[in-house]
Structure 1
Amino acid sequence: MATSAPNVRELPSPPTDTISSVSFSPYSSTRLIVPSWDGNIHLYDTYGSDGTGSKLAQIFHDTPVLSACYGDRDTEIFSGGLNFTVNTLDPENNTATAIGAHDDAVSAVCYNTSTRQLITGSWDKSLHTYDPRTSSLTGEYIQPEKIFSMSTVDHTLVISMANRGISIYDLRNMSEPSQIRESSLKFQNRTVVCMPNGQGYATSSIEGRVAVEFLDPGEESQARKFVFKCHRQVEGGVDVVYPVNALAFHPVYGTFASGGGDGVVSLWDGAAKIRLRQYQKLGASIAGLSYNNEGRMLAIGTSAGFEGGQTDGECPPESVRVIIREMPEGEGKGKVQEKRQ
């Protein structure tokens, strides 16, 4: 399906199966990694020499890749997936080398720049930490449930688990979680992402809701948290609810985008508790979202499955797209920020 807006374009050579996530590099405004169920991590330059973008590398894994992240630089990438291994990748030679392993699928990997740790989570209910400089395991921490998603900022790590469990760690003291919470969402969590300012995080669920939470356990801070409904459509007189698969905070404005099974991406101002914008519906479920480090591009990954009417859950290859939306000046700016100008 072609994109019609002048500031929206598709990257060439998309994955051939479901996209797990999309992640811009923290260091380059145009480097993007896309792990996929096709068994590859796809590395793109989202701008390229002609402004249309190009694929730089495709790194093969022997099973679907569930998560990937950048390390200390553009050429340091880590991954995990259904083969239970934690990998460091060499994009110049298109190779993946195992540096660790879990006892089940590696569902989430993230890198903390403050502590220079690689952190991995698994369906085996364990959290591992690694020192990438020596490729050595530095810690193993058992969790109460399967780990679905993780996010880290400053010295904070937030873990989203099965049965609506949330664990929060201070990475300077991993002896035990600093907080253990139950999600404010009523149904299974899909993803968690930390606010850029380190004050809190947002989570989404399979039942068309997003929760905005704050780390400070004090009564005043906790009174600010809220949950809202989204990604719902009336079809044939029936209110159809879609999962919210992806969230991404704007690195400059602190507003955030959500992507749902309805193929819609919306922008939200959490401080004002309002929707700022809703983009044109795409032809398949939103599988991943990521802003670049300047907040001037939003990467959107789409993949169809059950939400697209596939009764077997298979993903039609034509539904798999990596879309880049160029963000006009000020788009995504919150209402309070607009008033201050």
Structure 2
Amino acid sequence: MSLFGQATATTVSSATGDLKSDVEVPQPPEDSISDLAFSPQADYLAASSWDNKVRIYEVQSTGQSVGKALYDHQGPVLSVHWSRDGTKLASGSTDKSAKVFDIQTGQHQQVAAHDDAIRCVRFVESVGSPPILATGSWDKTLKYWDLRQPAPIATVSLPERVYTMDSVHPLLVIGTAERNVCVVNLSEPTKIFKVAMSPLKFQTRSIACFAKGDGYAIGSVEGRCAIQNLDEKFQKDNFSFRCHRTQGTGTSDVYSVNSIAFHPQYGTFSTAGSDGTFSYWDKDSHQRLKSYPNVGGPIACTTFNRTGDIFAYAVSYDWSKGHSFNTPQHPNKIMLHPVPPEEMKPRPKRR
């Protein structure tokens, strides 16, 4: 049984929020939105898309957004991530390359290459170190790149194609095909510390590291999420729960958990799915903090800004039903949702 689902219907109903204050970002991508990332230093929001482009928006104090920059790849862009100092944005594409955009100069250049599509990019440097970019690919490798060098500084073989990846120093977690989960301690970046099977029964869709880097949450196509602590003394607290599902009479509709994002201040987290809804959760007290109604289409990706008071989500086709369902009538937009502190603060554990 879902641990979060133990709340009564009255409790969950009273915790349902509204979307009336959400603000739409102007000039969205022209095709499905694959990833969103806020800068850790400013309210710059990056969006990657299947239209081969990366866009950067500046979110102003009014909540309105303006275009800041745009650059291209030769194929759909699947992932974006900012450097720790906020000066550089990395992007990975099906054109088998990763590029880095310099926010100060407005220039971009290719910095990485694989033998197949680059599914995920993450800056993994420690504080005060030169930028190091990790790229995960469908060619079943993880590569590390020093942006000052043209060749990778290390290559790590993986058991399968990379589907999702996240990092909070010193933790790097990679979800691959066939439900493999590879855990890397970045103090030894070329060694896979642990390879485990996902605790969920079906294909991995999303992974996000805890805010303190001591564990991760993993979501799958079956509408379930699992909480995984790395410290052995806390692994008894590992659990999974149902989230993006709707219960009918004798049936249950199951939706993919497309995105998981941890709040930078409170360590609580969001899930969003192909059912077009998102919810906030507290893993430590096993409670759902807030749920939101359907936004009119699948939510493909999400992110919190650096202070945690803005939650960005993309209403976009998530390719779960193949290319034939990606019609021009499908919604494709980026929304900014204000996050009052009381919505994300942890709750006392139930007795």
Contact 1:304 1:316 in 2 (8 A): no
Structure 1 gap segments, 5+ residues each:
none
The amino acid of 1:124's aligned partner reads D
Size of the alignment, in residue pairs? Answer: 330
Of all paired residues, the percent bearing the same amino acid is 33
Matching of residue 287 in structure 1 with residue 308 in structure 2: no
Equivalent residue, structure 2, for 1:139? 154
Equivalent residue, structure 2, for 1:63? 75
Please list, as runs of the form range in 1=range in 2, the aligned pairs for 1:119-268 lying within 5 A after superposition. 119-216=134-231, 218=232, 220-234=233-247, 238-268=251-281
Relative distance call for 1:306 and 1:34 in structure 2 (3 A) is closer
User: Which is worse superposed, 39-48 or 287-296?
Assistant: 39-48
Deviations 1:113-166 (A, max 9, x none): 315421000000000001124454210111111111111112111111111101
Structure 2 gap segments, 5+ residues each:
1-17
What secondary structure does 1:336 align onto? coil
Contact 2:170 2:186 in 1 (8 A): yes
Contact 1:305 1:315 in 2 (8 A): no
The amino acid of 1:137's aligned partner reads P
Contact 2:171 2:214 in 1 (8 A): no
Relative distance call for 1:130 and 1:21 in structure 2 (3 A) is same
Equivalent residue, structure 2, for 1:78? 90
User: Which is worse superposed, 64-73 or 315-324?
Assistant: 315-324
- Structure-2 separation of matches of 1:325 and 1:251: 16
Contact 1:196 1:251 in 2 (8 A): yes
Contact 2:172 2:183 in 1 (8 A): yes
Contact 1:245 1:288 in 2 (8 A): yes
- Structure-1 separation of matches of 2:271 and 2:208: 11
- Structure-2 separation of matches of 1:150 and 1:180: 14
Equivalent residue, structure 1, for 2:347? 335
Equivalent residue, structure 2, for 1:319? 331
- Structure-2 separation of matches of 1:312 and 1:166: 31
Relative distance call for 1:310 and 1:88 in structure 2 (3 A) is closer
Deviations 1:160-214 (A, max 9, x none): 1111101111112134211111110100101111001122000100110001001
What secondary structure does 1:74 align onto? coil
- Structure-2 separation of matches of 1:171 and 1:77: 21
What secondary structure does 1:300 align onto? strand
- Structure-2 separation of matches of 1:315 and 1:236: 31
TM-score of the superposition, structure 1-length normalised? Answer: 0.91
Relative distance call for 1:306 and 1:132 in structure 2 (3 A) is closer
Relative distance call for 1:23 and 1:315 in structure 2 (3 A) is farther
- Structure-2 separation of matches of 1:31 and 1:159: 26
1:109 pairs with one of 121, 133, 149? 121
Relative distance call for 1:253 and 1:98 in structure 2 (3 A) is same
Q: Shift of the alpha carbon at 1:334?
A: 1.3
Deviations 1:287-339 (A, max 9, x none): 111111111110111113556x787132536511110011123221111399x
Relative distance call for 1:60 and 1:337 in structure 2 (3 A) is farther
- Structure-2 separation of matches of 1:187 and 1:310: 18
- RMSD of the TM alignment (CA)? 2.2
Q: After TM superposition, where is structure 1 displaced by more than 4 Å over at least 4 residues in a row?
A: 91-95
Q: Shift of the alpha carbon at 1:55?
A: 1.3
TM-score of the superposition, structure 2-length normalised? Answer: 0.88
Matching of residue 275 in structure 1 with residue 283 in structure 2: no
What secondary structure does 1:331 align onto? helix
- Structure-1 separation of matches of 2:107 and 2:168: 28
